[in-house]
């Protein structure tokens, strides 16, 4: 993969060839090793290796863009410049055009790039799969999943003198173990492959499947729930999307009129950290803007919402470079401690098929997956059939009772979140899904 000096030289050479009023050029590259497995056997190994150069040009209030993945071909770079210029000159005027940012000061970050992870031997991933499969086979169960290890870099330069660079590695593992009548899931994500606890991953998924066999239905309705961090991940992703200042100011979201108001339970705190070694934040976000720490919600009070560059300009605020990674405050204990403190409720391992129902209230619908369990008097009593639910993460966070320690979860958004107990979560029906 190209190094920082080579990329900077390339980007500055491209910038030097355009006469546009404003210009930004971005280099992105990623290499990912993926291993899929199902029915206790590897089904696919793949290597995705890609690099792209994207050029944005501004002429007055007109903006055009073009991309290429042929970075070593002078003719392709010539064509890139020509296409971006044609697109920029012919585009309609953009009423929301904002001047590109100038040079940024990028603060120090915990290590995000690990050479051993970037250069991992595929045989190591195969060995990890074998450990999970062996644990499932020992119980007569079936394991499936996706194990991915990769590296990515981003370089940005513009005509106002900005230059930014960010590189990271990530190992993201998830597996589902199926028994005859129930499943268990586990997921882990780390910046360094060596930090993954594959034995724990396998044990968690197998134990979840073992506990979840032969579930029985329970009456839908409002129940106290304990969400494990993986379930919290699915719920909070939608909350992060909704925390948009423009939508709130225009009255089209659930966060309208909430700044400096206690919207959530005092236990609820949401933030973007930049110095957490377990989940390091990137140095830069949109258009090379430096990523800064942000406190979104403090003790249930909404303190800040995400401002893109245009809305920041309109409101006289500083723009936010990123919304994630998302961190949620937690408590000192474990999910087991939450279970021990529950008189009667449902322990929910995972959520899936989550869809938006009403954006103005942030009401979502979805189903439980990979284990639901009835809890009585601080003990797990039995597995429960999967349920469909309709609820808002805002209501969930308003009804908090207790939180466990936050952990980094695997998944589609980088998060470090706790397990949570909440009251009056609405389940609408029993499902036949497994």
267, 403 Cβ separation under 8 angstroms: yes
147, 34 Cβ separation under 8 angstroms: yes
pLDDT in tens, 38-79: 999 999 999 999 999 999 999 999 999 999 999 999 999 999
Maximum separation of any 2 CA atoms in the chain, in Å? 72
pLDDT in tens, 180-213: 999 999 999 999 999 999 999 999 999 999 999 9
Transcribe 319-339 into DSSP letters: PPS---SEEE---SB-HHHHH
pLDDT value of residue 55 = 98
pLDDT value of residue 204 = 96
pLDDT in tens, 105-164: 999 999 999 999 999 999 999 999 999 999 999 999 999 999 999 999 999 999 999 999
Query: Encoding tokens for residue 407?
Result: 């952990």
Q: Where are the domains of the chain?
A: 4-206, 215-434
Closest CA to 283 of 192, 164, 171, 150: 164
pLDDT value of residue 433 = 74
pLDDT value of residue 411 = 74
pLDDT in tens, 378-413: 999 999 999 999 999 999 999 999 999 999 987 778
Q: What is the pTM of this model?
A: 0.94
425, 415 Cβ separation under 8 angstroms: no
Mean pLDDT of 3-13: 97
pLDDT value of residue 27 = 98
Query: Three-class SS of residue 167?
Result: strand
Domain 4-206 has CATH 3.30.2290.10: yes
Angle at 272 between CA 426 and CA 192, to 5 degrees: 100
């Amino acid at each position: 993969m190209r190094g920082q000096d080579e990329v900077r030289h390339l980007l500055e050479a491209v910038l030097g060839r355009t006469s546009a009023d404003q210009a930004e050029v971005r280099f992105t590259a990623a290499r990912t090793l993926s291993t899929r497995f199902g029915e206790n056997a590897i089904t696919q190994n793949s290597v995705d290796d890609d690099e792209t150069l994207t050029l944005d040009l501004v002429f007055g209030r007109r903006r055009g863009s073009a991309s290429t993945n042929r970075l070593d071909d002078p003719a392709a770079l010539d064509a890139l410049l020509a296409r971006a210029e044609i697109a920029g000159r012919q585009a309609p005027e953009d009423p929301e055009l904002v001047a590109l940012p100038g040079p940024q000061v990028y603060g120090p970050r915990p290590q995000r790039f690990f050479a051993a992870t970037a250069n991992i031997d595929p045989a190591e991933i195969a060995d990890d799969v074998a450990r999970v499969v062996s644990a499932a086979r020992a119980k007569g169960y079936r394991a499936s999943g996706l194990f991915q290890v990769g590296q990515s870099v981003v370089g940005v330069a513009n005509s106002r003198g900005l230059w930014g660079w960010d590189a990271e590695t990530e190992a993201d593992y998830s597996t589902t173990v199926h028994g005859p009548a129930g499943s268990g899931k586990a997921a882990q994500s780390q910046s360094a492959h060596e930090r993954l606890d594959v034995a724990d991953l396998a044990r968690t998924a197998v134990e979840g499947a073992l506990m979840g066999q032969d579930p029985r239905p329970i009456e839908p309705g409002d129940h106290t729930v304990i969400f494990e961090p993986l379930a919290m991940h699915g719920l909070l992703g939608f909350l992060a999307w909704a925390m948009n200042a423009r939508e709130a100011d225009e009255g089209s979201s659930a966060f309208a009129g909430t700044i400096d108001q206690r919207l959530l339970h005092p236990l609820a705190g949401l933030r973007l950290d930049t110095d957490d070694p377990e989940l390091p934040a990137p140095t830069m976000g949109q258009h090379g803007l430096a990523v800064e720490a942000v406190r979104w919600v403090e003790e249930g009070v909404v303190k800040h919402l995400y401002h893109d560059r245009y809305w920041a300009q309109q409101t006289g605020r500083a723009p936010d470079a990123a919304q994630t990674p998302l961190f949620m405050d937690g408590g000192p204990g474990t999910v087991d401690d939450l279970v021990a403190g529950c008189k009667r409720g449902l322990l929910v391992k995972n959520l899936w098929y989550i869809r938006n129902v009403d954006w103005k209230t942030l009401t979502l619908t979805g189903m439980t997956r990979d284990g639901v369990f009835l809890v009585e008097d601080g003990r797990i009593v039995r597995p429960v059939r999967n349920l469909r639910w309709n609820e808002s993460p805002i209501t969930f966070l308003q009804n908090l009772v207790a939180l466990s320690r936050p952990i980094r979860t695997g998944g589609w958004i980088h998060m470090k979140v706790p397990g949570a107990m909440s009251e009056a979560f609405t389940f609408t029906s029993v499902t036949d899904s497994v």
